[in-house]
Chain A
């Protein structure tokens, strides 16, 4: 945007100097369109934030900070503590990221650096297909097929094996349920893997050949080349991909609602039933009224804030490391 043109368009249009050219109509039109679109996004975001906050003030003011972050959620007695849901959202997202990121990055590296191009194509299509599966289908598959199976053939064995062991026991010990934090985490991981993979793959594909050759010319093996040339180059982009995946995992509603078990508890036991913020909104909103309704809308505001905080924090970390490596 040139401030000169904006400041005094009349003078410009009337100028006879051959050096000042009038900007073509298309240029101006596009500028206005781009600016308007950009502003529209911002305006919509602000409107959403304002209206949801407005409709949840009832809860915020009545419950207070202590009430909001209590673990006591009981609509019958007008207790609306959000802690269990915040906890569930964070735990399931963390599990999802821990599972999905190594897999996604490994697949992305495999596709860009190892598999010949003519094989990579079909695999990419296949992975992208995973992203097309509707989340309700993942949820139904999760609760009807996956959860019963993993409960009987994995969770129960692990739980009985670690029961009583200090740290492991409190993470993986009983109670055991098919629908649980961990199952939700796995389903979320499967759901975010395609997007994290394909974004990572695109970032990794932009590493210049000459950087890779530099490593190879020093006698690097493929793995050493990836660590020396590809990784430093794509690390930030991969973090960005992970952030998008994380955002998706935190906001995922219906799949999580189906497989998390719908019980508002805070426990370190990952195989126990839990709840998440989007899941409780989806499940309870239709019957909610008054402060209950306000609390559910407020939950949305909290989720919004949580996502923003996580994003900003991660961007900050990335920014710092980039600045150091660019030497700026």
Chain B
């Protein structure tokens, strides 16, 4: 995978793994390539608007899966279906089947809270809480019942190290998370997400608000994180998809001129190399070669 100059520069900032980091629980790491999500004929509605129609795909463990496609093609909607974030939108509902490690995500007894504790999310705009850097990272462990001061210190340090932010903030953990730059704030949000030891990290255009250097840092981080987590990323940046992802899903907008409706559909899904070098669908080809969208 190609590496831009900025990425190399940012890479040198990555801290060496410490004893602490190596002592981290490894139970979440699985076998690369094993299916983790099974999506069958999923459609998502916002009230009467069908945002995405009939998506079927399999997401694989310890891989980075990229969702690409133009605006309105439903990438983010599908992403948010994976950890039931759409439940928070009034009028939203999901049809079809989504299985996570064999359990139906939208099953009757499944709690969205429990789902989100296993499947974390990083947003487009860095959204640290109005709390100190320390409290931002400790928030997740705390709501999971962790009260032990020493354990929290440990989790905070480990998460910040993994998010490649520790060296920049270790001397000001008590200062506000809002005082960080955009790239640092986004890495803080990643640290906050991995502090609860999730199984999957969903990322919704995590670098779109960042400059190239910060973007490079986030991408390096993703490659590092996929050893332990399964990552799904929505991106508008096709170079980013080719740089970081193992598989790519291309979404597009389907317009029905007769009923004047439009909806997002999954056009093609395969290995990133195949999608970009040998797309099977003409629409995919048009998009990845820049002739459309």
A interface residues (Cβ-Cβ under 8 A, vs B): 116-117, 208, 210-221, 224, 228-229, 232-233, 324-328
Instruction: Tell me how far the C-beta of A323 lies from the nearest C-beta in chain B, rounded to whole angstroms.
Output: 9
List which B77-112 residues lie within 8 A (CB) of chain A: 83, 85, 88, 90
- CB-CB under 8 A for A325 and B131, given A218-B139, A228-B139: yes
In the complex, the number of residue pairs spanning A and B with C-beta atoms less than 8 Å apart equals 83
**Which of A116, A219, A233 interacts with B140 by CB under 8 Å?**
A219
Bound-complex Cα distance A2 to B246 (A): 57
Q: Are B179 and A327 in contact (CB under 8 A)?
A: yes
* B176 contacts partner chain A, Cβ-Cβ < 8 Å: yes
Query: A217 is contacted by which of B83, B131, B178 (Cβ under 8 Å)?
Result: B83
A229 in complex: contacting residue of B85, B118, B120, B129, CB < 8 Å: B129
Chain A contact surface mostly: helix
Residues of B within 8 A of A233 (CB): 130
* B121 pairs with A217, CB closer than 8 A: yes
Q: Is there contact, CB below 8 Å, between A214 and B143?
A: no
B189 at the interface (CB under 8 A from A): yes
Q: Indicate if the CB atoms of A218 and B192 lie closer than 8 Å.
A: yes
Q: Which residues of chain A have C-beta atoms less than 8 A from B140's C-beta? A: 218-219
B163 to chain A, nearest CB (A): 14
B161 located at the interface, meaning its Cβ lies under 8 Å from any Cβ of chain A in the complex: no
Is the CB–CB distance between B127 and A211 below 8 Å? Answer: yes
Q: CB within 8 A of B130: which of A213, A219, A221, A325?
A: A325
A214-B127 CB under 8 A given contacts A224-B143, A327-B176? yes
| Sampled A-B contacts (21; CB under 8 Å) | A208-B127, A213-B121, A214-B129, A214-B192, A215-B129, A217-B83, A217-B121, A218-B117, A218-B143, A219-B113, A219-B114, A219-B118, A219-B143, A220-B116, A228-B129, A228-B139, A233-B130, A324-B176, A325-B130, A326-B178, A327-B175
In the assembled complex, which residues on chain A have CB atoms less than 8 Å from the CB atom of B178?
325-327
Q: List the A side residues contacting B129 at CB < 8 Å.
A: 211, 214-215, 228-229, 232
